[in-house]
A = this chain, B = another copy of it.
Amino acid sequence: MVDSNREQGQGTIASQELRDIVRQQLQGLLEINDYQGAKVLLQPVQYPDIAEAIEGLPETLQALAFRLLPKDEAIEVYEYLDSTVQQALIDELRSQDVLDLVEQMSPDDRVRLFDELPAKIVRRLLQQLSPAEREITSLLLGCGTGTAGRLMTPEYVALKEGMTGDQALARVRLMAPRTETIYTLYVTDVSRRLTGILSLRELLVAPPEDSIGALMTRDVISVHTDTDQEEVARVIQRYDLLAVPVVDREERLVGIVTVDDVIDILEEEATEDIYTLGGVQSGEDDYFQTNLLTVARRRVVWLFVLLITNTGTSAVISSQEDVLSKVVALAAFIPLLIGTGGNVGAQSSTVVIRGLNTDRLRSMNPMTIVSRELIAGALLGVMLAAVVTVWAFLLERNWQVAIAVGFSLLVISILASTAGSVLPLVFKRLGLDPALMSAPFITTVVDVAGVFVYLQLARAILGLN
């Protein structure tokens, strides 16, 4: 949410070190019961920094510090607190204070809080809200998690086409204290359908007697209540918007999503991508508040999938044991070969997956991508194989083994870079997240194929059978 203070930043920016000092001083003052001193300390501090300071206090002092804040400031600070601290405060504060707080939060932040609270408490709080706020909150809670409807706030300025510029400006002034943004204005018809859009900039420079209908732009970029939040973020990013209007199935305007929420979403989505790439289930965002058994249970699923794939390597080696028993020196290079292959594959899949997920590769022919990666893999394979062949000879003093190792590395590099580009593309085509074809998975696939290639090549070069 945006409010007039935060739009422009109240208080000077504090570096991490200064913020830590504030937290320590706050704790010191509270411990000696110097509440007046604590109030004065926090006066010039920004809301997000006050929130951080409160989060850093021992639990027993959090509610105490929070109660020192002036009422209007308390709401702002509350919206910046971590959900665990928000919940703790709900338990600690007097129920009238809680109600005042929740009543005055902006609807989008309120819904985010409700998502975290126990159902029983949510039901009680909903009942105690004013009818207007209750209705808005129920509307938002009714939309699916991760959709535009969940993110939006219904606090926008709506104009009518028949208004003059002057009338519109008067309405903006009237609504300003109660809306998320006044910088984009929305024009609706009698049935609340969105018919146009106007920036405050355009309104300010237009002749005051012109009608809104004449000033507004009729082609409006909008999203639906059920649009996925990542798509909402991409729309705001692509068209450099400050806010995007959200309409329901009848094209009626029901809310707006602002750019500040979108920044957080893009960061969440990047974290999700990185987690998937690392073989971690997303939703581990709250990892460090989660029970360790839950963490292990979540992670083990993916590890078992990889383990099953990897039993293939044991089966392959086991079936080729005769080669190894004749030339046991070959075993020394298995980890090196599959490890390097895995790394080559990881590079290819990283570039391709990120390109697909940020739409950078959209306009490229998949065949071009794969053949580029194949050639890159071959080039890398030649360079690496040259070095490894020499190293293998120095270690084992056996040219045949050395050549088998070097030649295998070349083949494995090509396989790995091809797999690293083909598999994400196939997943994309199937409508799945390409990030699932991540480094760990590619590595495991390359392991199985790599061992097979190596032992077969060694068999041929060393003349075993």
- Residues of A whose CB lies within 8 Å of any CB of B are 1-2, 4-13, 16, 44, 46, 48, 55-56, 169, 172-173, 176-177, 182-184, 197-202, 204-205, 217, 219-223, 235-242, 244, 259-260, 262-264, 266-267, 270-271, 273-275, 277-280, 284, 287-288, 292-293, 295-296, 299-300, 302-304, 306-307, 310-311, 313-315, 317-318, 321, 324-325, 328-329, 331-336, 338-340, 342-344, 346-347, 349-351, 354-355, 358, 360-364, 369, 372, 375-376, 379-380, 383-384, 387-388, 391-392, 395-396, 439-440, 443-444, 447, 451
Contacts and interface: CB of A to CB of B under 8 A. Distances in A.
A380 B240 contact: no
B292 A379 contact: yes
A10 B242 contact: no
Instruction: State the number of copies, please.
Output: 2
A354 B275 CA distance: 8
A277 B350 contact: yes
Given A5-B217, A339-B444, 18 more contacts: A13-B223, A176-B201, A176-B204, A237-B260, A278-B349, A278-B350, A280-B350, A288-B360, A302-B343, A311-B391, A313-B339, A314-B333, A317-B331, A321-B328, A321-B332, A324-B328, A325-B328, A343-B440
A205 to B, nearest CB: 5
Question: Taking each of A173, A313, A339, which has the highest tally of chain B beta carbons within 10 Å of its own beta carbon?
Answer: A339
24 contacts: A7-B183, A8-B184, A8-B197, A12-B219, A13-B221, A13-B235, A48-B238, A176-B204, A270-B270, A277-B439, A279-B343, A287-B355, A288-B361, A292-B372, A296-B383, A303-B344, A306-B343, A311-B336, A314-B336, A315-B332, A335-B338, A342-B443, A343-B440, A346-B439
A156 to B, nearest CB: 12
B271 A358 contact: yes
Question: Taking each of A16, A176, A222, A440, which has the highest tally of chain B beta carbons within 10 Å of its own beta carbon?
Answer: A440
A76 to B, nearest CB: 10
A380 B296 contact: yes
B197 A183 contact: no
A457 to B, nearest CB: 16
A217 B7 CA distance: 11
B287 A313 contact: no
B46 A351 contact: no
Question: Taking each of A221, A242, A314, which has the highest tally of chain B beta carbons within 10 Å of its own beta carbon?
Answer: A314
Question: Taking each of A182, A311, A329, which has the highest tally of chain B beta carbons within 10 Å of its own beta carbon?
Answer: A311
A259 B264 CA distance: 12
